[in-house]
C-alpha cells in the first residue's frame, strides 16, 4: 500500500533484536539507541548512526542491533531521527516494539490520504484534534521545530504524486545542505552558527537532525560536536 513503510528482511531468518542484544550483553531496553555504549542516549548516538548511513563509519554488531530502533531491519536516518526525538523528550521509549510508524498517517487509520492532510491542518490550526505526531513529522531538515506547515506541505506534495513516498530518510534531509559548521542550516557558515552552537552547549538550544550532522566532527578517532571556539577557528580558516 502506498505510504506504508517498507519492511524487507535482509536475510532469510532474522532473530529478534532483544535476542541479539542479550547475546551481546545489552539485555536492558535502556540500551536501545545507545550505539556509542556510554549507558546514555545522546545526540552523539544520532550523529554516529547518520555517519554509518553515510558510509563514513561501520557500526559493530552490537551497535547495529542497538541502532535499529524502529525495528525494520535497516539502519537509516529514520533511526537517527527517532534517537534525536527521544533525546528531545518527544518520544518516551526507543524500544522497537513501541513503534508502528507509517509516515504521513496522521489520523492513524493505517493509510495515507487526503484525510490525513486535513487532520494535520486542523491540528495546526489549533482545533485540538488527536493525531499521531510521530507519523506526522515528515519534514526533518532546517532549524529544530515542532510540527508545522512544512509537514503539511510535504504531505500535500506526496498526495499529489510530487514525492514518491514518505519514508523520512528520503525527504528533504538529503536535499538540504550537509556543510560542516552550518549548524543553523541556513546555507552559510558564519558567526550565527557560532551563536547557535554556543546556545546548544549552554543547554538552551536543541538541534535538528541536519544540525547534528553539520555540527559533528571526528577528533581523536571519536565523533563529537565541535565547540564554539573550534567553529570560530574553522570559520577564520575558510
Name the residue range of residue 201's domain: 177-238
Model confidence at 22, pLDDT cuts 50, 70, 90, reads very low
In a domain, 149, yes or no: yes
End-to-end, the C-alpha distance of the chain in Å comes to 48
Residue 140's pLDDT is what? 57
- The answer to whether the beta carbons of residues 176 and 186 sit under 8 Å apart is no
- The answer to whether the beta carbons of residues 188 and 226 sit under 8 Å apart is no
In a domain, 191, yes or no: yes
In a domain, 1, yes or no: no
Please state the domain count of the chain.
2
Based on the fold, state whether residues 164 and 200 are members of the same structural domain.
no
- What is the C-alpha to C-alpha distance for residues 84 and 77, in angstroms, rounded to an integer? 10
Based on the fold, state whether residues 224 and 183 are members of the same structural domain.
yes
Indicate the pTM of the whole model.
0.66
Q: What is the pLDDT of residues 209-219, one digit of tens each?
A: 888 989 999 88
Which residues, other chains included, contact 153 with Cβ-Cβ below 8 Å and sequence gap of 6+?
Answer: 139
Based on the fold, state whether residues 184 and 131 are members of the same structural domain.
no
Based on the fold, state whether residues 166 and 216 are members of the same structural domain.
no
In a domain, 160, yes or no: yes
Based on the fold, state whether residues 166 and 129 are members of the same structural domain.
yes
Amino acid at each position: 500500500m502506498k505510504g506504508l513503510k517498507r519492511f524487507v528482511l535482509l536475510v532469510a531468518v532474522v532473530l529478534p533484536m532483544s535476542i541479539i542484544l542479550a547475546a551481546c550483553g545489552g539485555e536492558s531496553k535502556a540500551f536501545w539507541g545507545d550505539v556509542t555504549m556510554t549507558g546514555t542516549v545522546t545526540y552523539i548516538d544520532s550523529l554516529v548512526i547518520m555517519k554509518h548511513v553515510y558510509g563514513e563509519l561501520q557500526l559493530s554488531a552490537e551497535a547495529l542491533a542497538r541502532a535499529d530502533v524502529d525495528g525494520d531491519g535497516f539502519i537509516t536516518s529514520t533511526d537517527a531521527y527517532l534517537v534525536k526525538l527521544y533525546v528531545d523528550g518527544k518520544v518516551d521509549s526507543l524500544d522497537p516494539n513501541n513503534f508502528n510508524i507509517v509516515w504521513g498517517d496522521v489520523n492513524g487509520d493505517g493509510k495515507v490520504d487526503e484525510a490525513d492532510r486535513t487532520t494535520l491542518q486542523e491540528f495546526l490550526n489549533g482545533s485540538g484534534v488527536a493525531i499521531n505526531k510521530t507519523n506526522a513529522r515528515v519534514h526533518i531538515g532546517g532549524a529544530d521545530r515542532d510540527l508545522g506547515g512544512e509537514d503539511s506541505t510535504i504531505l500535500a506534495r506526496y498526495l499529489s504524486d510530487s514525492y514518491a513516498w514518505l519514508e523520512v530518510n528520503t525527504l528533504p534531509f538529503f536535499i538540504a545542505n550537509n556543510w560542516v559548521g552550518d549548524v543553523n542550516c541556513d546555507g552559510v557558515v558564519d558567526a550565527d552558527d557560532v551563536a547557535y552552537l554556543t546556545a546548544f552547549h549552554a543547554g538552551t538550544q536543541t538541534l535538528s537532525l541536519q544540525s547534528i550532522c553539520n555540527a559533528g566532527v571526528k577528533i581523536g578517532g571519536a565523533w563529537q560536536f565541535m565547540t564554539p571556539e573550534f567553529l570560530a577557528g574553522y570559520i577564520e580558516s575558510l
